[in-house]
A and B are shown apart, each in its own frame.
Chain A
């Protein structure tokens, strides 16, 4: 079936798991409406922009290689583009057996006034809704909107989902409409940190907060109240961790059976989390300044990749 739709390029972001990529491509082969081209690029910082440059479709779709699309996925994803004000569309992502967390409907893809972002891209509000940013697992943009923006950033090494967040927020801040289309469904394996990987979570917490400052500064600028509000929000949120620490210091109970070293680690974990979050926010400011400087340099000299 041929659409009377804009041409579409799908850029599959693949990491080192060929079996996942094969499954993803197999599902793409089963689409009711085929895309104009499918390109596979490595899932790293610079590849999104490289993918955009190597393709020609009027709509550029980024898809994680772990995603398994439904047959009508592409038709549903493209439907909101009939509105010319729409510059980006993302779809619903169900991880594992998760049913989507519909209790937080209305909190999908929001940039809140306290500087935080909500995700909740597994929810099904029953119809397309306007959002401030899109899920990185499946996000699509009008090519001309991306071109007006310059290029997709590559300043978040190892955390390429932030590039989609920043791109979405910048388009939204520039007045473009972003739509979350729940009928465009993909399934992906459950996101879980393996047991005993708390250090990894803490590291993620640090980078999450650092990158959030950078994303905000890039999207809404230094003068926006969202940047100091995010710092204040993070600081306020630590009271729960401090309470947890106090509870653990006071309580004994079944934990008394554990080894002293394990007890100590469990007790201080909330403090480590507080330190990670606060240093993450603090590190975000120089990182944002460096990103802004790099952007100015590139504006002066477009050949500067720095």
Chain B
């Protein structure tokens, strides 16, 4: 089974850790970026800084550059994201059976388990694999994070989209595709509050084998800029989203303790080994 990957080169945070976590397991990595270093919303992005990081870790020459024009400001940012991903996916799919589509702030904790699950997904004939991400909301101290959880503080999976798809897949929006999914979760019953409680779970893994998503683990400046370049910019640009994040980062214990009282947005405080995302 030949597996390749593509990455959207835009954000230097966690980029090296993300790529390093699966570098050994893929044959080729397509680097997709805007040739003018401009984001989907028209803001500047540090592409050259990212490429320098990648060059330093690409010891086996697996990375292939694929610049293009993706800052199409006449289109919705999410449409631009889908367009860029599809172009990158099509390039990565050449000569491959499966394509990994991890974002650069997502780090595999146990690549061996990830690719074992992918083998199983392949064997049962799935078209894509939904693999659980643990969504880190904010760093609250050295090695301490606020992580989204179930209402009562158990590990919860989040699924930003299938993390691997079969070569030839057409993306519907961002990483989403209308194909049969092989779904891995952290328990035998769905743990993602955004999915129906009866959603099928094909395989269970330990939270220690999930993908860590350092989604909002940034400093204040980067967070404000991220809300500008993200495909979800329209949704995140409301001041209250940033203010809530800043407040929760300041009072993590209270945020976790009051989680059961909220209708949604539940968190727990977790410790992770320092340097995982470095």
A114 touches B201 (CB 8 A): yes
User: Among the interface residues B123, B188, B197, which one has the most CB atoms of the partner chain A within 10 A?
Assistant: B188
Q: A113 contacts B203, CB within 8 Å?
A: yes
Contact between chains at A236 and B189 (CB < 8 Å): yes
Q: Is B176 an interface residue (CB 8 A)?
A: no
**Is residue B61 within 8 Å, beta carbon to beta carbon, of the partner chain?**
no
Contact B189 A105 (CB under 8 A): no
Stretch at the interface among A68-76, A126-134, A272-280: A126-134
Cross-chain contact A105 with B127 (CB below 8 angstroms): yes
Q: Does A173 contact B (CB under 8 A)?
A: no
Check: A298 CB closer than 8 A to any chain B CB. Answer: no
B203 and A106 contacting across the interface, CB-CB below 8 Å: no
B202 within 8 A of A: yes
Interchain CB contact under 8 A, A130 and B202: no
Contact A131 B202 (CB under 8 A): no
Categorize the interface residue count of chain A.
20 to 34
Kindly identify which residue among A115, A118, A129, A236 contacts B125, using a CB–CB cutoff of 8 Å: A129
Within 8 A of B (CB), among A93-117: 104-108, 110, 112-115
Chain A 213-252 near chain B by CB (<8 Å), digits 1 or 0 = 0000000000001000100010011000000000000000
A110 and B124 contact, Cβ closer than 8 Å, known pairs A104-B180, A118-B200: yes
Asked if residues A131 and B189 are in contact (CB atoms below 8 Å), the reply is no
- Is the CB–CB distance between B124 and A114 below 8 Å? no
Kindly identify, within residues 37 to 66 of chain B, every residue whose CB is under 8 Å from any CB belonging to chain A.
none
Is there an interface contact between B125 and A108, defined as CB atoms closer than 8 Å?
Answer: yes
Could you say which of A106, A225, A237 has the most chain B C-beta atoms within 10 Å of its C-beta? A106
- Which of A107, A108, A110, A126 has the most chain B CB atoms closer than 10 A to its own CB? A107
Q: Please tell me if the beta carbons of A112 and B202 are within 8 angstroms of each other in the complex.
A: yes
B125 touches A125 (CB 8 A): yes
Contact B180 A130 (CB under 8 A): no
CB neighbours of A130 from chain B (8 A): 123-124
CB atoms of B200 and A112 under 8 A apart = yes
For residue B217, CB closer than 8 A to chain A, the reply is no
Q: How far is the CB of A27 from chain B (nearest CB, A)?
A: 27
Is B88 in contact with chain A by the CB < 8 A criterion?
Answer: no
The minimal Cβ–Cβ distance linking A229 to chain B, given in whole angstroms, is 5
Give, as a whole number of angstroms, the nearest-CB distance from A17 to chain B. Answer: 34
Q: Which residue of chain A is the closest to B203 with respect to CB atoms?
A: A113
Q: Chain B residues near A106 (CB, 8 Å)? A: 121, 124-127, 180-182, 202
Total residues of chain B contacting the partner, CB 8 A:
18
B204 within 8 A of A: yes
Q: How far is the CB of A243 from chain B (nearest CB, A)?
A: 12
| B179 to A: closest C-beta gap in Å | 8
Q: Is the interface of B mostly helix, strand, loop or mixed?
A: loop
Question: For residue B182, which residues in chain A have a CB less than 8 angstroms away from its CB?
Answer: 106
- Flag B179-222 by CB within 8 Å of A: 1 or 0 each: 01110000011000000011011111000000000000000000
Query: Which residues does chain A contribute within 8 Å of B180, judged by CB atoms?
Result: 104-107, 125
**One of A107, A131, A229 near B200 (C-beta < 8 A):** A107
Residue of chain B at shortest CB distance from A104: B180
Q: Mark A12-47, 1 if CB is under 8 A from B, else 0.
A: 000000000000000000000000000000000000
Residues of chain B lying within 8 A (CB to CB) of residue A110: 124, 202
Q: Please, how many angstroms separate the alpha-carbon atoms of A236 and B202 in the complex?
A: 18
Question: Does A127 lie within 8 Å of B125, measured CB to CB?
Answer: yes
Q: A107-B180, A233-B189 are in contact. Are A113 and B126 (CB under 8 A)?
A: no
Q: Tell me, in angstroms, the Cα distance from A105 to B123 when the chains sit together.
A: 12
A130 to B119, CA, bound (A): 11
Kindly provide the distance from the CB of A270 to the nearest chain B CB, expressed in whole angstroms.
16
Q: Check A229 against B124 for contact (C-beta < 8 Å).
A: no
Bound-complex Cα distance A97 to B201 (A): 29
- CB nearest neighbor in B for A179: B123
Considering the complex, give the chain B residue whose CB is closest to the CB of A226.
B188
> Which B residues are in CB contact (< 8 Å) with A112?
188, 200-202
| Residues on A facing B (Cβ under 8 Å) | 104-108, 110, 112-115, 118, 125-127, 129-131, 225, 229, 233, 236-237
User: Can you sample 18 A-B contacts with CB below 8 Å?
Assistant: A106-B124, A107-B180, A112-B200, A112-B202, A113-B188, A113-B202, A114-B188, A114-B201, A115-B188, A118-B200, A125-B125, A125-B180, A129-B123, A130-B124, A131-B124, A229-B188, A233-B188, A233-B189
B-to-A contact residues, CB < 8 Å: 121, 123-127, 180-182, 188-189, 197-198, 200-204
Q: Identify 14 new A-B residue pairs, CB closer than 8 A, beyond the known A106-B121, A130-B124.
A: A105-B125, A106-B124, A106-B126, A106-B181, A106-B182, A107-B200, A108-B124, A112-B200, A114-B188, A115-B188, A118-B200, A229-B188, A233-B188, A236-B197
